[in-house]
Amino acid sequence: MEASDIPARLLLDCLVRITGERMTGSGFLAAPGLVVTCAHVVGRRRTVAVRHGTSEWVGEVRYASAPPGRNELWPYPDLAIVEIPAGAGPRACAWLDQRLPAMRSHLQVVGFSDVYQPELRQTSASPTFDGLHDLGGPMLMLGDREIPAGMSGGPVLNLATGGVCGVAKASRLKGAAMGGLAVPIWALRETDPAMYRRLIRAHDRFFAEEREWSAASDKLAPAKSHRLHQDEERQLRGILAGLPVPPDHQDRFVRAVGRECFAPQRRLVDSADVITELAVQLPPPRGELPYVLRYAADLARDLTGRDAQAIRDWVLLTAGRLRLGKEATARLADGAEFDGPSSLMVRIRPVGSDHARFEVRIWRYFDASAVIPVPLESTPLGMTEAIQLVRDELPRQLAAMAPDCGDITVELFLPPEQLEEDFESRPLWPEQPWSALGRKHAVLVRDQSRLDNDRIAPEWQKRWAAGAGRDLGADADQVACTDRRGHEAVEGWLAEDYRRCVLVFASSPFGSGNRPAVEVGLHSGVPVMMWRRGHCPDCPDDGCPGESFVRRLREALSGVGLAELPERVRRLRAQAAGTTSADHCGADLVLLYDDPSRRPPRDRLVRPEENNDD
Pick the closest to residue 544 from 480, 477, 473, 478 (CA basis): 480
Q: Is 611 contained in some domain?
A: no
d(CA 328, CA 304): 18
Q: Is 337 contained in some domain?
A: no
Same domain, yes or no: 399 and 294: no
Those residues of the chain that have pLDDT short of 70 are: 1, 3, 71, 115-118, 145-146, 171-179, 223-226, 259-262, 335-340, 354, 369, 377-378, 404, 535-543, 602-614
Say what the pLDDT of residue 60 is.
Answer: 96
Same domain, yes or no: 301 and 371: no
Parallel, antiparallel or unpaired: strands 128-134 and 443-447? unpaired
Query: Does an H or E element contain 577, and which?
Result: helix 565-577
Same domain, yes or no: 495 and 359: yes
Q: Which of 307, 332, 357 is the last residue of a domain?
A: 332
Same domain, yes or no: 556 and 441: yes
Q: Is 218 contained in some domain?
A: no
Say what the pLDDT of residue 541 is.
Answer: 53
Say what the pLDDT of residue 611 is.
Answer: 37
Say what the pLDDT of residue 155 is.
Answer: 96
Q: Which of 171, 193, 215 is the last residue of a domain?
A: 193
Q: Is 185 contained in some domain?
A: yes
d(CA 412, CA 442): 11
- Angle (CA) 111-112-113 rounded to 5° is 130
Is the CB of residue 274 less than 8 Å from the CB of residue 267?
A: no
Beta strands in 314-353 (DSSP E): 342-351
Same domain, yes or no: 322 and 470: no
Same domain, yes or no: 429 and 301: no
Same domain, yes or no: 327 and 360: no
Same domain, yes or no: 63 and 189: yes
Say what the pLDDT of residue 176 is.
Answer: 43
**CB-CB neighbours of 282 under 10 Å:** 8
Number of domains in the chain: 3
The model's pTM: 0.68
Same domain, yes or no: 85 and 24: yes
- Cis previous bond, 395, omega within 30: no
Pick the closest to residue 405 from 346, 347, 361, 340 (CA basis): 340
Say what the pLDDT of residue 472 is.
Answer: 92
Pick the closest to residue 284 from 265, 251, 257 (CA basis): 257
Same domain, yes or no: 124 and 75: yes
HSE-CB of 80 using CA atoms within 13 angstroms? 32
Pick the closest to residue 198 from 67, 36, 307 (CA basis): 36
Q: Is 423 contained in some domain?
A: yes
Same domain, yes or no: 293 and 365: no
Q: Is 142 contained in some domain?
A: yes
Say what the pLDDT of residue 170 is.
Answer: 75
Same domain, yes or no: 32 and 147: yes
Say what the pLDDT of residue 327 is.
Answer: 85
Say what the pLDDT of residue 115 is.
Answer: 66
Say what the pLDDT of residue 173 is.
Answer: 44
What range defines the domain where residue 297 resides? Answer: 223-332
Q: Is 210 contained in some domain?
A: no
Is the CB of residue 179 less than 8 Å from the CB of residue 172?
A: yes
CATH value at residue 123: 2.40.10.120
Provide φ and ψ at 172, rounded to 5°: -65, -40
Q: Which of 332, 357, 390 is the last residue of a domain?
A: 332
Q: Is 275 contained in some domain?
A: yes
